[in-house]
Chain A
């Protein structure tokens, strides 16, 4: 009985030391009874189940242990409980981590970073991107855009007489009674007469079928409506614009190519002589 509990299995010794606290275990003291070991506080045992296993085994099978507390024959090692988190990681995950050369992190799933910029930053408004490329393709000089741009003081307005030259067929002229501004879908509504019948025609401004749009005559006064649908009434109908257009075309032909080129340089869709003058006046007035 010369040995102390400290010389028994390591785990059991820890318990014994705990029990003998205060009484100072010395080598001369008698061995602490096995039953006393069971006094170990529950939480202590719960923390280390191995201690409990060893202790209970010693108490249940005292014949297997010698007087020194050591097992007389080689005992089968009780199955150690591996409480480490790594033992609980699924083999598939381990294999994946090994394949990708990653380290396993406890209780943490790997969140991979996003690849590439979000579309909000890359291209926040794809519709206008497509529209702009279309407009630049269909109207490389930007003349049509300027003719109907609100920012342009000399833009065409409702009430003006416009002439639309088409790729196929006769040109059509009439009073512009509506301008629908929708990017590449911008369109104008012209009201004229064909064979003495009132006719309204929608023209897409950027359509490749429209060769040119000319301002024949500016409106005498700024229209106080956005859409001059009242012109459909007999009382307000302008009727045929044929005569005005004929005069305009004759003047344009008389002025010759030089004038025409100048107009083209200004925007390719310049109005007639009258129109230009009126437009200029309006522009000045706006600046004041």
Chain B
């Protein structure tokens, strides 16, 4: 054991051992820590002198995504089936899907301050209270809404997207004819499907000496020169469907506020009865539609209003 150096009585004990009152009297010693000396440089490959380097803050992440976040909330709807609508002028027939809203109500708001982003939590349908957990019952009670079967979040760009207050109901009038929407839903599950059905592989010929191989996927990759392995992500047979599918840019053809019906052009993923998220299309100009409920809920006809109407007539 090497000999210990004697204690140096001339030196003060470490600062953390000193009482806080005396600590202030000591000369300030710099605290050493790790500090980056590397200033961010523009990307070597995507160089653009005009653009500042990408930021890694949450604020800039939200700013980057802002163009693809709708201004206002969407709704939950049930897919009820398909039919067709004819344009009486042009005679054009358009196949359409009938969606129905089941008592959509806003359950909560997510804010940038509290949650890091803006979103509207919407619930739809109904559920027996005894089938709902106590935490969720409390959550619904806070919003003063009945227990909901489906609860989802719709991201909105900013605070103005929270125009519908917690506890308020959204009806089919939220959308107007001619607007564009994106719909999301879970597609029909096809079960285990082969490569031909799942990925559109062509299969093999029926004849010309073909032996016991007509619908197989064929080769899974090259041999020695290509590494003698199957590359990750190789498309193969497997479970098909039963995944979330987004269909973009469907036109709203009809709206029936009383029955909660929204008719959209074309088809929508999933079987009948599938719950579907409907929100403004991100690839089209944002609708001028209402941001708040007051805009769509007609004003009640009070005596003053009735007088005004009579005077106008």
Which residues on A are within 8 Å of B, measured CB to CB? 96, 100, 109-116, 118-119, 122-123, 125-127, 129-131, 134, 137-138, 167, 183-185, 204, 206-209
Q: Among the listed B82, B86, B105, B137, which residue makes an inter-chain contact with A115, where contact means beta carbons less than 8 Å apart?
A: B105
Instruction: Using CB atoms, name the residue of chain B closest to A109.
Output: B137
Given contacts A116-B169, A130-B98, contact A138 B103 (CB under 8 A): no
What 6 A-B pairs have minimum CB-CB distances, sorted nearest first? Answer: A123-B259, A209-B91, A127-B81, A208-B91, A114-B146, A111-B129
Mask, B126-154, CB within 8 Å of A = 1, is 10010000100110111011110000000
Q: Cβ of B254: which chain A residues have Cβ within 8 Å of it?
A: 130
For the complex, give the distance between the alpha carbons of A122 and B101 in Å: 11
For the complex, give the distance between the alpha carbons of A122 and B260 in Å: 9
Query: Which has the most chain B C-beta neighbours within 10 Å: A113, A119, A129, A208?
Result: A119
The total of Cβ contacts below 8 Å across the A-B interface reads: 95
**Chain B stretch 74-108: residues in CB contact (< 8 A) with chain A:** 78, 80-89, 91, 93, 96, 98, 100-103, 105
- A127 and B103 form a contact (CB under 8 A): no
For the complex, give the distance between the alpha carbons of A114 and B103 in Å: 9
* Other contacts beyond A112-B146, A185-B83: 9, CB < 8 A: A109-B137, A111-B141, A112-B144, A114-B146, A119-B78, A122-B259, A137-B88, A207-B93, A208-B87
Which residues on B are within 8 Å of A, measured CB to CB? 78, 80-89, 91, 93, 96, 98, 100-103, 105, 126, 129, 134, 137-138, 140-142, 144-147, 169, 254, 256, 258-261, 263
- A184 and B83 form a contact (CB under 8 A): yes
The 22 listed contacts between A and B (C-beta, < 8 Å) are: A109-B141, A114-B146, A115-B103, A116-B169, A118-B102, A119-B260, A122-B259, A123-B100, A125-B80, A126-B80, A126-B256, A126-B259, A126-B261, A127-B81, A127-B82, A130-B263, A134-B83, A184-B84, A185-B84, A208-B86, A208-B88, A209-B91
Q: Cβ of A100: which chain B residues have Cβ within 8 Å of it?
A: 144
Q: Is the interface of B mostly helix, strand, loop or mixed?
A: mixed
Instruction: Using CB atoms, name the residue of chain B closest to A168.
Output: B91
Q: Cβ of B142: which chain A residues have Cβ within 8 Å of it?
A: 96
- A111 and B147 form a contact (CB under 8 A): yes
B271 to chain A, nearest CB (A): 14
- A183 and B83 form a contact (CB under 8 A): yes
Instruction: Using CB atoms, name the residue of chain A closest to B89.
Output: A208
Instruction: Using CB atoms, name the residue of chain B closest to A166.
Output: B91
- A112 and B140 form a contact (CB under 8 A): yes
For the complex, give the distance between the alpha carbons of A167 and B92 in Å: 13
Q: Cβ of A112: which chain B residues have Cβ within 8 Å of it?
A: 140-141, 144-146
Q: Cβ of B102: which chain A residues have Cβ within 8 Å of it?
A: 118-119
B267 to chain A, nearest CB (A): 14
For the complex, give the distance between the alpha carbons of A119 and B76 in Å: 13
B60 to chain A, nearest CB (A): 33
- A130 and B83 form a contact (CB under 8 A): yes
- A127 and B129 form a contact (CB under 8 A): no
Q: Cβ of B83: which chain A residues have Cβ within 8 Å of it?
A: 127, 130-131, 134, 183-185
Q: Cβ of B169: which chain A residues have Cβ within 8 Å of it?
A: 115-116
Query: Which has the most chain A C-beta neighbours within 10 Å: B78, B91, B144, B258?
Result: B91
For the complex, give the distance between the alpha carbons of A118 and B103 in Å: 7
Q: Cβ of A208: which chain B residues have Cβ within 8 Å of it?
A: 86-89, 91
Q: Among the listed B86, B101, B145, B146, which residue makes an inter-chain contact with A206, where contact means beta carbons less than 8 Å apart?
A: B86
- A115 and B88 form a contact (CB under 8 A): no
Given contacts A100-B144, A207-B86, contact A109 B138 (CB under 8 A): yes
A98 to chain B, nearest CB (A): 14
For the complex, give the distance between the alpha carbons of A88 and B138 in Å: 16
B124 to chain A, nearest CB (A): 10
- A204 and B93 form a contact (CB under 8 A): yes
For the complex, give the distance between the alpha carbons of A239 and B178 in Å: 47
For the complex, give the distance between the alpha carbons of A116 and B104 in Å: 10
Q: Cβ of A118: which chain B residues have Cβ within 8 Å of it?
A: 102-103, 126
Q: Cβ of A126: which chain B residues have Cβ within 8 Å of it?
A: 80-81, 98, 100, 256, 259, 261
Given contacts A118-B126, A208-B86, A209-B91, contact A127 B144 (CB under 8 A): no
Instruction: Using CB atoms, name the residue of chain B closest to A183.
Output: B83
Q: Cβ of A113: which chain B residues have Cβ within 8 Å of it?
A: 146
For the complex, give the distance between the alpha carbons of A127 and B254 in Å: 12
For the complex, give the distance between the alpha carbons of A246 and B47 in Å: 77
- B146 and A111 form a contact (CB under 8 A): yes
A130 to chain B, nearest CB (A): 6
Instruction: Using CB atoms, name the residue of chain B closest to A110.
Output: B141
Q: Among the listed A111, A116, A204, A206, which residue makes an inter-chain contact with B103, where contact means beta carbons less than 8 Å apart?
A: A116
For the complex, give the distance between the alpha carbons of A96 and B134 in Å: 17
For the complex, give the distance between the alpha carbons of A116 and B138 in Å: 21
- B88 and A127 form a contact (CB under 8 A): no
For the complex, give the distance between the alpha carbons of A114 and B126 in Å: 8
For the complex, give the distance between the alpha carbons of A261 and B261 in Å: 40
- A138 and B86 form a contact (CB under 8 A): yes
- A134 and B91 form a contact (CB under 8 A): no
Q: Cβ of B82: which chain A residues have Cβ within 8 Å of it?
A: 127
Q: Cβ of A207: which chain B residues have Cβ within 8 Å of it?
A: 86, 91, 93
For the complex, give the distance between the alpha carbons of A1 and B233 in Å: 94
Q: Cβ of B141: which chain A residues have Cβ within 8 Å of it?
A: 109-112
Instruction: Using CB atoms, name the residue of chain A closest to B97.
Output: A127
A212 to chain B, nearest CB (A): 14
For the complex, give the distance between the alpha carbons of A110 and B258 in Å: 29
Q: Cβ of B91: which chain A residues have Cβ within 8 Å of it?
A: 167, 207-209
